[in-house]
Structure 1
Amino acid sequence: MNFIAMDFETASVQRHSAVSMAVVVVRDNQLVDQFYSLINPGSDVRFDSRNTAIHGIVAEDVINAPMFPDVWQQIKQFYTPEQLVIAHNAPFDNGVLRATLGHYGIGAPHYLSLDTVRTSRKLYPQLPNHKLNTVAAALGIDLEHHHNALDDTVAAAQILVTQATTFGVDPIKPLVKVI
């Protein structure tokens, strides 16, 4: 399979409050490139202690980080109509991307999207839940720092590669959405 995987962490429940993002590129089922950045969400964004408790990123960590428009310049080439973009809980990550682009007045791209939560529910109904750490553990995938955007992105990519090589792409294809 060829695809990119993405993950965001946010400062608060505001979808445009991205504080970190990762993208990994998978070609022929191999991770061939990766990108990670902290993101300065702007002075108007307040950090929620619940979010910080999850990912550990505080306002001081992102003071000198680039703003999202600068990050977008480095990754926008991956978001094309024929590109498959996956995430574990893709509605959240797609929502963060769209809200953050909208916040900065940047047009949202169109791409193909696949949610590995949905593929995992379909292919592993016996699991007690389909959280990223649960699915990764069940598949023997190392998830060193859960809620670190890069580690989560790598794990999501490995989940989809494992699913595609175990079950083939036929049960996965119907779950692809156009964004």
Structure 2
Amino acid sequence: MRGINFIAIDFETATGKRASVCEAGICVVRDGKIAETRSWLVRPQGNRYSYWNMQIHGIRPSDTVDSPEFPAVWAEICGYLKDIPVLVAHNAAFDIGCIRHSLELYGMEKPDITYYCSLRAARRLYNFGCNSLDYLCDQFKIPYGQHHRAGDDAEMCARLFLREIEYAEVCKLENMEYCNGKL
């Protein structure tokens, strides 16, 4: 998969608000191979959490009290985006929404980024009754660590999207126009 470069991204939130990011994860793919996976705990504004969100991902206020806020973490992620200005997310509406709302909350500039959605690709390519990230990874025997932790989910998304690219028999990401958008 020479020339297939992207950064899979995933966010966990502290509350139902998209700008309450408490963990960010990326998985860098270069030439169709996973090159690096990283995650950061993020202190959401006010370090407030909802019970429901804590039940999903297990991250608590005590975990993020000394963590950097979104702007510092986003600056690190942007370092990767300079080389590869393409994001992939499973259910990109959520993750891209996290970026947009967080940039707005902190008064930060929105970069020119193209993104792809592995969920939209799955709905088009496969005929499963369920298209959740963990379900699809189970179907394709894609290994994963702890679901609902951003670094692990980003890597699961990257592996799934690579499989979708192969299944769709495309040589360029641009050919997957049915599942992309602009930040």
Normalised to the residue count of structure 1, the TM-score between the two structures is: 0.92
Aligned partner of 1:128 in structure 2 is 129
Partner SS for 1:144: coil
Aligned partner of 2:67 in structure 1 is 65
Question: What is the deviation of 1:76?
Answer: 1.1
What is the rounded CA distance, in whole Å, between the counterparts of 2:101 and 2:157 in structure 1?
Answer: 22
Q: How do 1:72-87 and structure 2 match up within 5 A?
A: 72-79=74-81, 83-87=85-89
Q: Which of these residues, 161, 174, 178, is aligned with residue 178 of structure 2?
A: 174
2:23 aligned with 1:15, yes or no? no
Across the aligned residues of Structure 1 and Structure 2, the Cα RMSD in angstroms comes to: 1.8
Question: What is the deviation of 1:144?
Answer: 2.3
2:39 aligned with 1:36, yes or no? yes
What is the rounded CA distance, in whole Å, between the counterparts of 2:43 and 2:179 in structure 1?
Answer: 33
Q: Which of these residues, 53, 57, 66, is aligned with residue 55 of structure 1?
A: 57
Partner SS for 2:45: coil
Q: Percent identity?
A: 31
Contact 1:88–1:156, Cα closer than 8 Å, also in 2: yes
Partner SS for 1:153: helix
Q: Counterpart amino acid of 2:41? A: L
Deviations 1:99-131 (A, max 9, x none): 111111111112111111100111112x12100
Question: What is the deviation of 1:14?
Answer: 1.1
Contact 2:9–2:154, Cα closer than 8 Å, also in 1: yes
What is the rounded CA distance, in whole Å, between the counterparts of 2:81 and 2:118 in structure 1?
Answer: 18
How many equivalent pairs are there?
Answer: 177
2:158 aligned with 1:154, yes or no? no
Partner SS for 2:7: strand
Question: What is the deviation of 1:68?
Answer: 1.2
Structure 2 gaps, min length 5: none
Contact 1:79–1:109, Cα closer than 8 Å, also in 2: no
Contact 1:15–1:99, Cα closer than 8 Å, also in 2: yes
Partner SS for 1:154: helix
